[in-house]
Structure 1
Amino acid sequence: MTTPATPTPAHEARIHNIGYRRYTGERLGSLYARRSLFIHSLRGAYGLGRSARSKVLPIGLFVIMAAPAIVSVAVATVASQDELPIGYTDYPLFMQPIFGLYLALAAPVMVSLDLRYRTIPLYFSRPVDSADYVAAKFAALSAALFLFVAIPLTITYAGGLLAELGFATQTEGYAQGLAFAAAFAVFHAAIALLTASHTPRRGFGVAAIIGVFTIPYFAVTAVQAVAVEQGNPDNVGILGLFSPGSLMDGLQSSFLGGESQFPENAEITGTATQAAYPLVALALVVLCYALLLRRYRKAGL
């Protein structure tokens, strides 16, 4: 039978100082937290700060993305051509398969792993709420995609100037290419993040993103080809509004001087149809962003 412990008399109690002190330094706040999350996510999109194996695919895809820019400049210089083989606004569409692979790789890395390892509540325990998290991730993926396209365009521009293809022409085309690259990046980032945010499995996220962008594009392209063959080319522009890839194609061909990639190079007819392309693209970005905010208000619980 154990003897109950004798309580320590009040006059013999001790308070031991174990070294804890209050933090008296500067509190950097939510702005610093958002900026840190943005930089961390942007670096992670290219495998920086991670293992060497994590860098292979993003860096490899970037090299493949930039290779046609180098080749086109070399061809234009050696063959003394008057223009580049690939236009500035055509470049993202020409390299869309590589861009799509990088997008499917980068978006799940940014959000799916946080869901899988349940680190979202840890973020929200700091001066970061769901709106801050979504804004930082969206900005980081948009910036990563923009760099993925803009750096090859910059290589093309520098090569065009070295090949003496005309400063004014190259500068105008380069400015249009950068504008399209920005719209291209923001549009794809919104859809890809929303898709990846619904699964904690990175592999499922990759497959879902590829499906979301690929299946509607091929379906719309097939229907557009049928419309052209049946003598209804005016319907091609309307059909282009129903897939992300054709929507971006119509946007650059209508407003940025690019060449249409529609079947038989069909052009968008009608002012109302042309005006619908930027409006639909903007509406999709806003809708996806709003759904992301709703998604992470629940994910943080």
Structure 2
Amino acid sequence: MSEPTTPTTPTGQIHDIGYRHYDGPRLGARYIARSLFVDTLRGTFGLGRSARSKIMPFVLAAVLVLPTIAIGIVTSYFKLTTLPLGYTSYAFSFQVVITIFLGAQAPAAMSRDLRFRVAPLYFSRPLSRQQYVRAKYAGMTTALFILVGVPITLLFVGAWLADLPFDEQWPDYLRSMAGAAVLALVLAGIGLVVAAMTPRRGLGVAAVVGVLLVLSGIQATVRAMAEEFGNDTFAGYAGLISPFTLVDGIMSGPLGAESVMATPPQGVLMATVYCLVAVLLVVGSYAALVRRYGKALS
């Protein structure tokens, strides 16, 4: 009986290809959350993405910015004593443009992570669901605040160049910027929650735009009916239905701005209700997003 022969060729070999252990600093969850915030903010304007992704946000931003330049030129040329369109009513006048921007960008911020199943990879690192949601929420809120705040600031600059009284323009400008911050918080919460309900971006765009337009339509109809029947109290509360009139009610109440509604909220009680509803919307949106991403991992 012959002895078994040993193989002449090796069955395996270890190669040293130069990999080394990482000895640098471990930046942790805060750095990840900050990077996620910056990525969300840049992504809403198409930065860091394809050229086609930049078209929609920058066109919508131009639609908001260009009228302010025209208003400044007209005010200066004709020596007007007031701006043709006030600061506090600017966002309300262009609410359709803001709605389209939110509808186009909110799904890009939320749906992709769900569609490509990337969300579990974030949470495999030292990043909690709460930190993930806060980073996304802050990124979208900042983008909306920039979108609304830049045209209002340009409107203020135009009034200043037209030699309008500074002491009359400054308070309204501050009120409008505070209103822009509140509007950005409320709209970002609603848009992200609706967008996170589906991983399909097309459905998310239609859902976000549809929800905001339907709410605005219902608000206008209910308020018109209440005014027709002479019920000013109910007409005042009708502003709670739409986020745009909700923020307008806050601006005309606690902030003391001029309302764009024919029947604005009156009294301390109604102003308090408007503020509470805005707070509940922001907190509720945050809680809904945290819950949604809890389900995404299960």
TM-score in same-fold range (> 0.5):
yes
Moved more, 138-147 or 230-239: 230-239
Task: Tell me how far 1:244 sits from its aligned partner.
Answer: 2.1
* Unmatched segments (≥5 aa) in structure 1: none
SS of structure 2 residue aligned to 1:85: coil
- C-alpha separation between the residues in 2 aligned to 1:4 and 1:116? 56
Tell me the residue number matched to 1:74: 73
Tell me the residue number matched to 2:52: 53
C-alpha change, 1:261 and 1:215, in structure 2 (3 Å) is same
Task: Tell me how far 1:261 sits from its aligned partner.
Answer: 2.9
Moved more, 16-25 or 95-104: 16-25
8 A contact 2:175–2:255 mirrored in 1:
yes
Tell me the residue number matched to 2:197: 198
Paired residues for 1:3-42 under 5 Å: 17-42=16-41
Which amino acid is the alignment partner of residue 257 of structure 1? Answer: G
Tell me the residue number matched to 2:207: 208
Task: Tell me how far 1:15 sits from its aligned partner.
Answer: 6.7
Task: Tell me how far 1:259 sits from its aligned partner.
Answer: 3.1
- Aligned counterpart in structure 2 of residue 294 of structure 1, from 275, 291, 296: 291
Tell me the residue number matched to 2:113: 114
Identity among equivalent positions (%) equals 45
Give the TM-score, by structure 2 length.
0.92
SS of structure 2 residue aligned to 1:164: coil
Give the TM-score, by structure 1 length.
0.91
1:171-196 deviations in whole A, cap 9, x for unaligned? 21211111011001011001110110
1:84-120 deviations in whole A, cap 9, x for unaligned? 1111111111111101110101101101111111111
C-alpha change, 1:163 and 1:219, in structure 2 (3 Å) is same
Task: Tell me how far 1:21 sits from its aligned partner.
Answer: 2.4
Tell me the residue number matched to 1:282: 279
* Unmatched segments (≥5 aa) in structure 2: none
Which amino acid is the alignment partner of residue 206 of structure 2? Answer: A
C-alpha change, 1:159 and 1:14, in structure 2 (3 Å) is closer
- C-alpha separation between the residues in 1 aligned to 2:137 and 2:217? 27
Tell me the residue number matched to 1:249: 248
Moved more, 166-175 or 155-164: 166-175
- C-alpha separation between the residues in 2 aligned to 1:271 and 1:171? 25
Tell me the residue number matched to 2:184: 185
C-alpha change, 1:20 and 1:89, in structure 2 (3 Å) is same
For the aligned residue pairs, the C-alpha RMSD in angstroms reads 2.1
SS of structure 2 residue aligned to 1:255: coil
C-alpha change, 1:254 and 1:21, in structure 2 (3 Å) is same
- C-alpha separation between the residues in 1 aligned to 2:256 and 2:155? 17
